[in-house]
Amino acid sequence: MREFPLTLNRFIIQSQASHQGATGEFSSLLTQIGLVGKLISEDLRRAGLINILGTTGDTNVQGETVKKLDALANDDFVKVFQHSGYVCALASEEMEKPISMPGNWPQGKYMLLFDPLDGSSNTDNNMPLGAIFSVLKYDRADRLPTEGDMIRRGTEQVAAGYLLYGSSTMLVYTVGEGVYGFTLEPGIGEYLLSHVQVRIPDKGKVYAANEGNYNKWSEGTRKYVDALKVSDKATGRPYSARYSGCLVADVHRLLLGGGIYLYPGEADKPEGKLRLLYEANPLAFVVEQAGGKASTGTARILEVEPKKLHQRVPLIIGSRLDVEQAEAYIQGRA
Ligand code: AHG
Ligand code: MN
Ligand code: MN
């Protein structure tokens, strides 16, 4: 007889049972993230057939072209969570301002920040995509959260994770007690536990970076990436380059196999490209929980003091020793 698989729902109910005072609200929130993942992956499976490829003609708050799938994925998140009673505020890459739940609706105690679709340049060519989420707790009962209440350091996240729409759909998350991964079994529409307490190797052999930007990088970053290409048996170099254009997919690869992802600052864009609150922070929380590191090059991502909802940050993330070595080059110590 085959072993009974552990579904996401059963896993969270079991984990919740070991937490005193847990109300079940958090478990429901994660289940709803899973639901968003099912909705989006169903659309993606048919994307070439149902006129959802291409752009909407709009530009988002980041000044980037909005793909139809960006808008659709954002709508799915909002529809699932608005009025759900699980959250009191939502903030997204695709929305200039957060949404606060109307006062006459049930208020959850969590605030959800998300990148509804990560890797948008991959939408039209059947390449991997993802979504990233960060969960903060809101403790005040006297008023609804404001935008300022959502602008918190990464260390204050109570949970974070991502959905990966690759050859299979996965939900990977942490609540600060290690990292768990679930794979969507399409036949039964359930997420089944597939990765228990993921540990990222201390060192890898793969680097992911958009090297087209090489000439815009700082000297230290350039030297680091140059060094990865020099043959040296003892340190496993040269490293292999793997860059998908989807941060989630690249981070997922290195979470399982080790290595480093870099989206550094550039001469005319020192703040880098990626967003702190709903890209870098949640992935940093996951990777740290798996034993890895996430850095701006000079500081721990999770300790960066955020000033703006859509703030950008340079991101260097992955295996502990690889990130430390990149920091040494960037800081001129190597
Ligand atoms: P998004 O699709 O949410 O805007 O994020 C795209 C991000 C990230 O997924 C990826 O690693 C990076 O941008 C790719 O940027 P380049 O095309 O500049 O390499
Ligand atoms: Mn993104
Ligand atoms: Mn996005």
Residue 278 clears pLDDT 80, i.e. is over it: yes
116 alpha carbon, closest ligand: 3
Longest alpha-carbon distance in the chain: 64
pLDDT per residue as tens digits for the range 152-164 = 999 999 999 999 9
Distances (CA, A) of 76 to 33, 39, 65, 223: 10, 7, 19, 43
Distances (CA, A) of 186 to 128, 166, 178: 17, 13, 26
pLDDT per residue as tens digits for the range 86-104 = 999 999 999 999 998 877 7
Q: What is the DSSP string of 295-318?
A: ESSSSBGGG----STT-B--EEEE
Q: How many domains does the chain have?
A: 2
Residues of the chain with pLDDT > 90, as a percent, come to 80
Residue 1 clears pLDDT 70, i.e. is over it: no
Domain end: 174, 195, 216, which one?
Answer: 195
Angle in degrees, CA 7, 11, 15, rounded to 5? 175
Domain end: 141, 166, 195, which one?
Answer: 195
Residue 200 in domain: no
Residue 220 clears pLDDT 70, i.e. is over it: yes
Separation of alpha carbons 146 and 310, rounded Å: 15
248 and 158 together in one domain? no
Residue 24 in domain: yes
Q: What is the DSSP string of 195-208?
A: E-S----SS-SEEE
264 and 218 together in one domain? yes
Q: What local confidence, expressed as pLDDT, does residue 190 receive? A: 96
188 and 276 together in one domain? no
Residue 34 in domain: yes
229 and 186 together in one domain? no
Separation of alpha carbons 314 and 295, rounded Å: 8
Separation of alpha carbons 97 and 240, rounded Å: 40
Going by the DSSP 8-state scheme, the letter that residue 177 receives in this structure is S
- Which of 118, 127, 211 has most ligand 1 atoms within 8 Å of CB, for mutation? 118
Residue 106 clears pLDDT 90, i.e. is over it: no
Structural contact between residues 66 and 59, judged by C-beta atoms closer than 8 angstroms: yes
Separation of alpha carbons 172 and 170, rounded Å: 6
Atom of ligand 1 nearest to the CA of 93: 3
Span 299-313, mean pLDDT? 98
Count CB atoms within 10 A of the CB of residue 318: 30
Partnered with residue 45 across adjacent β-strands are none
36 and 104 together in one domain? yes
In the block, which residue shows the tokens 């999770």?
302
Residue 228 clears pLDDT 70, i.e. is over it: yes
pLDDT per residue as tens digits for the range 176-186 = 999 999 999 99
Residue 172 in domain: yes
Domain end: 171, 195, 219, which one?
Answer: 195
Residue 4 clears pLDDT 80, i.e. is over it: no
Give the mean pLDDT of the chain: 94
Give the CATH number for residue 281.
3.40.190.80
121 and 226 together in one domain? no
- Which of 117, 210, 211, 283 has most ligand 1 atoms within 8 Å of CB, for mutation? 210
3-state secondary structure of 260: strand
Residue 58 clears pLDDT 80, i.e. is over it: yes
pLDDT per residue as tens digits for the range 5-36 = 899 999 988 887 777 667 778 888 999 999 99
Separation of alpha carbons 157 and 282, rounded Å: 8
- Which of 64, 134, 211, 246 has most ligand 1 atoms within 8 Å of CB, for mutation? 246
Atom of ligand 1 nearest to the CA of 121: 2
Residue 283 clears pLDDT 90, i.e. is over it: yes
Q: Which domain holds residue 39?
A: 8-195
Q: What local confidence, expressed as pLDDT, does residue 206 receive? A: 98
Residue 109 in domain: yes
Span 106-113, mean pLDDT? 91
266 and 296 together in one domain? yes
Angle in degrees, CA 14, 150, 156, rounded to 5? 50
58 and 175 together in one domain? yes
Residue 250 clears pLDDT 90, i.e. is over it: yes
49 and 136 together in one domain? yes
Burial class (CB in 10 A: 0-12, 13-18, 19+), 32: middle
Atom of ligand 1 nearest to the CA of 250: 11
Nearest to 43 by CA among 163, 193, 174, 194: 163
Count CB atoms within 10 A of the CB of residue 123: 21
Q: What local confidence, expressed as pLDDT, does residue 64 receive? A: 84
Structural contact between residues 67 and 123, judged by C-beta atoms closer than 8 angstroms: yes
For residue 116, the CA-to-ligand 3 centroid distance in Å is 6
Residue 20 in domain: yes
161 and 306 together in one domain? no
Q: What is the DSSP string of 55-98?
A: EEEEE-TTSPEEEHHHHHHHHHHHHHHTTSSSEEEEEETT-SSP
Residue 60 in domain: yes
263 alpha carbon, closest ligand: 1
Residue 259 clears pLDDT 80, i.e. is over it: yes
26 and 174 together in one domain? yes
277 alpha carbon, closest ligand: 2
Q: What local confidence, expressed as pLDDT, does residue 272 receive? A: 97
Amino acid at 167: S
Number of residues assigned to the chain: 334
For residue 291, the CA-to-ligand 3 centroid distance in Å is 26
Give the CATH number for residue 108.
3.30.540.10
Q: What local confidence, expressed as pLDDT, does residue 21 receive? A: 65
Residue 155 in domain: yes
185 and 236 together in one domain? no
The two tokens of residue 146 are 């404001």
